[in-house]
């Protein structure tokens, strides 16, 4: 069985594998095989310590064999091009310029143009090669040693150099100290200039090999497909910017619009997994391909299987977070936004400046209405990536979040008294609607006891009564919640006033952490509402009693009471009570070691919370869900 290796897609977007005894071949080993097998240049330095395992591995590994065959095919194509097209054209420059280029005597602008021409012209490419060989003749051993230390002669450095071909041209354009020795009537031979020429030629060759090979690897194909048809708000590692589209992958008929790069990547991934179903590299790539199709369940399975072998792979954690984002969007499951935030937090704990993770977490924070957190991530991202298309999108989203926060902070803090609520509903009803959960608590703890005093001789508070009626209308129109309206319909019994006073004391005691008193007063309220014939009051008192049980660690009793209350609340039209009860049920189940029931209760709470539009309660459920994931 193959030993574990490092991810195919590195945390910084590179493609490669850490070598173990059976790991895939490094680029240097591929270069050595090419030189040994088809004579593609000089043997690379350093050569493998033991060539036999390298040769054995490539015969058994489909992935490495395919890479080697791609290189061989490309070399043969280059040779055929040189043989068939060594014809001078009117566009070819004078022959002597190639010696000047190889010697490093051309300016930056001239070098750029010559290199571009030589890579496409067999005639001039041969002249450049010949000029380089002429300048390289019989180097002394100490000169060869110095040349071997040049950074660009190493495989990884060649890739970096090739990725910035202009850098090679810039180096070539600098004044170069040239060591010379006399030659019989042939002029001076440029010896140290060979170092500059080697930089240029190796840069060209590395660029041609690297671009041709890696543009067609599955990670690059998936990145190209993402950029060509971006149906995701979050980013995927390695992908360039692409404009967002409204369509999503997955529905019937959408395959007609599948980018060819995605189809090719999926075919290659499928072939590899058919023979190596547990290979973490290909499982990780399958997860990413599934994301582009919005096949998030399959993506989650593949990503989780990969993490079993590579638990700290940052790109896989990012992709798993995106799968949860897709499920949240498709199935209206806000809990998945919270899970995505948690996963991306793990990435950022290891790599605080991971731009993709910051970008994606900010989006998930926005979805959760956690605007302060989203703003912090956008600001951090823009410090890392201040220019370009991704930066423009990030800046646009940051500005939108900042505007929302300014509008929210510009509003006056709500007045807790009944008069303040009435004034606010008259002056700014839309602001009053955003504070409805705060005022619902005020109604239970203050307004109901004030409007229906238990003490004899105390007059009912008119403002409190008017606020209760107004709030009941807001709850009904904005949240389809009938609870306050129903409780106000059963206020005629003398027992009602005592019950409201007990309920107010129970809620206040629980808020202060006195759960013993909370249970006692909640039981009194339940009996009082029963005598008053107020079913809405009884249900609210029972919920408060369950809350106190949960917080005081009486899990078994809490679980029994919560399960008994569920059917009583069904189809009552009390969404706030229903969400809160399922949240309490989840807490009770978790405390007694029943994770299955805990997750089912949370799912139900989330399902009810979103359409009810109680934002604070929804965030409370999401926070709890993210904590236990």
* Rounded percentage of the chain residues whose pLDDT exceeds 90: 28
Here the tokens at position 498 are 């005592």
Higher pLDDT, 34 or 451: 451
CATH of the domain at 392: 1.25.40.10
- The answer on 436 and 402 residing in a single domain is no
Mean pLDDT of 531-538: 92
In total, the chain counts a number of residues equal to 629
Domain C-terminal end among 349, 377, 409: 409
- The answer on 266 and 173 residing in a single domain is no
Could you list the residue range(s) of the whole structural domain that residue 159 is in?
96-179+188-206
Per-residue pLDDT tens over the stretch 505-532: 999 998 888 889 999 999 999 999 999 9
CATH of the domain at 598: 1.25.40
- pLDDT (0 to 100) of residue 337: 87
Distance between CA 197 and CA 114 in Å, rounded? 13
Contact 57, 25 (CB under 8 A): yes
Closest alpha carbon to 328 in 120, 544, 622, 26: 622
- The answer on 435 and 394 residing in a single domain is no
pLDDT bucket at 438, cuts 50 / 70 / 90: confident
- pLDDT (0 to 100) of residue 437: 83
pLDDT bucket at 97, cuts 50 / 70 / 90: confident
Residue 20 has pLDDT above 80, yes or no: no
**Separation of first and last alpha carbons in the chain:** 32
Closest alpha carbon to 170 in 192, 203, 146, 143: 203
- The answer on 609 and 462 residing in a single domain is yes
Per-residue pLDDT tens over the stretch 348-390: 888 889 999 999 999 998 888 788 888 889 999 999 999 999 9
- The answer on 467 and 350 residing in a single domain is no
Closest alpha carbon to 566 in 577, 557, 550, 555: 577
Per-residue pLDDT tens over the stretch 450-481: 988 887 778 888 888 888 898 889 898 888 99
- pLDDT (0 to 100) of residue 50: 60
- The answer on 475 and 390 residing in a single domain is no
Residue 416 has pLDDT above 50, yes or no: yes
Residue 105 has pLDDT above 70, yes or no: no
- pLDDT (0 to 100) of residue 538: 93
- The answer on 361 and 319 residing in a single domain is yes
pLDDT bucket at 109, cuts 50 / 70 / 90: low
Domain C-terminal end among 409, 442, 465: 409
Residue 189 has pLDDT above 80, yes or no: no
Q: Is residue 229 part of a domain?
A: no
- pLDDT (0 to 100) of residue 10: 35
Per-residue pLDDT tens over the stretch 53-85: 777 777 778 778 877 777 676 566 555 544 545
Distance between CA 541 and CA 501 in Å, rounded? 11
pLDDT bucket at 536, cuts 50 / 70 / 90: very high
- pLDDT (0 to 100) of residue 299: 95
Residues pairing with 15 in the sheet:
9
Per-residue pLDDT tens over the stretch 255-298: 457 888 888 889 999 999 999 999 999 999 999 999 999 999 99
- The answer on 598 and 514 residing in a single domain is yes
- pLDDT (0 to 100) of residue 570: 84
Domain C-terminal end among 355, 377, 409: 409
Write down the pTM of the prediction.
Answer: 0.47
- pLDDT (0 to 100) of residue 27: 66
Q: Is residue 437 part of a domain?
A: yes
Q: Is residue 73 part of a domain?
A: no
Q: Is residue 552 part of a domain?
A: yes
Higher pLDDT, 121 or 599: 599
Q: Is residue 232 part of a domain?
A: no
pLDDT bucket at 143, cuts 50 / 70 / 90: very low
Residue 592 has pLDDT above 90, yes or no: no
Residues pairing with 244 in the sheet:
230
Task: Report the range out of 136-150, 432-446, 541-555 with the highest average pLDDT.
Answer: 541-555
Distance between CA 16 and CA 5 in Å, rounded? 10
Number of domains forming the structure of the chain: 3
Residue 567 has pLDDT above 50, yes or no: yes
Residue 190 has pLDDT above 50, yes or no: no
* Rounded percentage of the chain residues whose pLDDT exceeds 70: 69
- The answer on 402 and 493 residing in a single domain is no
- The answer on 399 and 469 residing in a single domain is no
Distance between CA 10 and CA 64 in Å, rounded? 18
Q: Is residue 90 part of a domain?
A: no
Residue 580 has pLDDT above 70, yes or no: yes
Q: Is residue 314 part of a domain?
A: yes
Q: Is residue 12 part of a domain?
A: no
- pLDDT (0 to 100) of residue 362: 94
- The answer on 600 and 460 residing in a single domain is yes
- The answer on 611 and 466 residing in a single domain is yes
Residue 165 has pLDDT above 80, yes or no: no
Q: Say which residue the tokens 């706030």 belong to.
A: 576
Alpha helix locations (H) across 293-370?
296-309, 314-331, 334-350, 355-367
Least confident of 239-253, 316-330, 332-346, 373-387: 239-253
Helix (H, G, I), strand (E, B) or coil at 15: strand
pLDDT bucket at 218, cuts 50 / 70 / 90: confident
In this structure, the dihedral spanned by the alpha carbons of residues 342, 397, 11 and 302, taken in order and rounded to 10 degrees, is 60
- pLDDT (0 to 100) of residue 334: 78
Residue 612 has pLDDT above 50, yes or no: yes
Cα 447 to Cα 389, 471, 506, 508: the distances in Å are 54, 11, 15, 13
Residue 419 has pLDDT above 50, yes or no: yes
Residue 3 has pLDDT above 50, yes or no: no
DSSP string, 181-244: ---TTT----STHHHHHHHHHHHHHHHHHHHHHHTTSHHHHHHHHHHHSB--SS--TTPPP--B
- For helices 108-118 and 122-135, give the axis angle rounded to 10 degrees: 120
Cα 477 to Cα 12, 16, 106, 579: the distances in Å are 51, 58, 77, 18
């Amino acid at each position: 069985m193959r030993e574990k290796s490092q991810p195919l897609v590195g945390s910084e977007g590179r493609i490669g594998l850490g070598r173990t005894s059976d790991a895939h071949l490094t680029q240097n080993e591929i270069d050595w095989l090419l030189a040994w097998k088809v004579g593609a240049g000089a043997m690379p330095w350093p050569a493998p310590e033991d060539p036999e395992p390298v040769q054995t591995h490539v015969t058994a590994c489909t992935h490495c064999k395919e890479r080697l065959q791609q290189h061989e095919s490309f070399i043969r194509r280059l040779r055929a091009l040189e043989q068939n097209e060594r014809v001078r054209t009117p566009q070819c420059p004078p022959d002597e310029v190639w010696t000047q280029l190889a010697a490093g005597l051309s300016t930056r602008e001239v070098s750029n143009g010559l290199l571009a021409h030589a890579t496409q012209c067999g005639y001039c490419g041969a002249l450049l090669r010949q000029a380089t060989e002429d300048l390289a003749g019989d180097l002394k051993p100490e000169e060869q040693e110095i040349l071997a230390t040049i950074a660009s002669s190493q495989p990884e450095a060649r890739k970096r150099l090739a990725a910035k071909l202009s850098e090679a041209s810039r180096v070539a354009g600098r004044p170069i100290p040239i060591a010379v020795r006399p030659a019989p009537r042939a002029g001076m031979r440029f010896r140290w200039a060979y170092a500059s020429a080697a930089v240029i030629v190796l840069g060209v060759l590395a660029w041609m090999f690297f671009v041709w090979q890696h543009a067609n690897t599955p990670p690059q194909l998936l990145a190209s497909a993402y950029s060509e048809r971006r149906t995701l708000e979050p980013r995927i590692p390695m992908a360039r910017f692409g404009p967002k589209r409204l369509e999503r992958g997955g529905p019937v008929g959408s395959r007609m619009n599948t980018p060819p790069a995605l189809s090719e990547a999926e075919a290659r991934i499928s072939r590899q997994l058919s023979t190596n179903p547990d290979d973490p590299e290909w499982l990780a790539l399958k997860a990413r391909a599934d994301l582009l199709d919005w096949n998030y369940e399959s993506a989650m399975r593949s990503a989780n299987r990969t993490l079993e072998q590579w638990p700290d792979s940052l790109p896989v954690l990012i992709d798993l977070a995106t799968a949860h984002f897709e499920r949240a969007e498709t199935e209206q499951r806000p809990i998945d936004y919270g899970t995505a935030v948690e996963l991306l937090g793990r990435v950022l704990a290891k790599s605080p400046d991971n731009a993709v993770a910051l970008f994606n977490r900010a989006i998930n924070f926005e979805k959760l209405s956690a605007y302060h957190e989203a703003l912090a991530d956008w600001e951090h991202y823009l410090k890392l990536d201040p220019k370009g298309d991704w930066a423009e999108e990030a800046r646009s989203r940051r500005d939108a979040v900042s505007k929302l926060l300014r509008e929210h902070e510009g509003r006056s803090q709500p007045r807790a008294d009944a008069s303040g609520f009435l004034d606010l509903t008259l002056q700014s009803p839309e602001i009053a609607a955003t504070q409805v959960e705060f005022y619902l608590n005020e109604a239970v703890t203050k307004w109901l006891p004030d409007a229906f005093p238990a003490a004899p001789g105390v007059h009912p508070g008119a403002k409190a009564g008017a606020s209760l009626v107004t709030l009941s209308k807001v709850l009904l129109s904005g949240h389809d919640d009938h609870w306050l309206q129903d409780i106000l319909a059963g206020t005629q019994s003398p027992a009602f006033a005592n019950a409201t006073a007990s309920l107010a004391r129970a809620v206040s005691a629980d808020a202060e952490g006195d759960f013993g008193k909370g249970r006692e007063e909640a039981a009194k309220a339940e009996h009082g509402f029963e005598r008053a014939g107020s079913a809405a009051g009884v249900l609210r008192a029972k919920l408060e009693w369950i809350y106190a049980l949960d917080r005081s660690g009486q899990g078994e009793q809490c679980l029994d009471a919560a399960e008994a209350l569920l059917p009583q609340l069904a189809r009552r039209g009390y969404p706030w009570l229903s969400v809160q009860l399922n949240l309490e049920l989840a807490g009770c189940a978790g405390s007694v070691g029943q994770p299955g029931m805990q997750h089912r209760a949370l799912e139900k709470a989330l399902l009810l919370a979103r359409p009810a539009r109680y934002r604070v309660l929804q965030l409370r459920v999401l926070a709890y869900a993210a904590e236990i994931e």
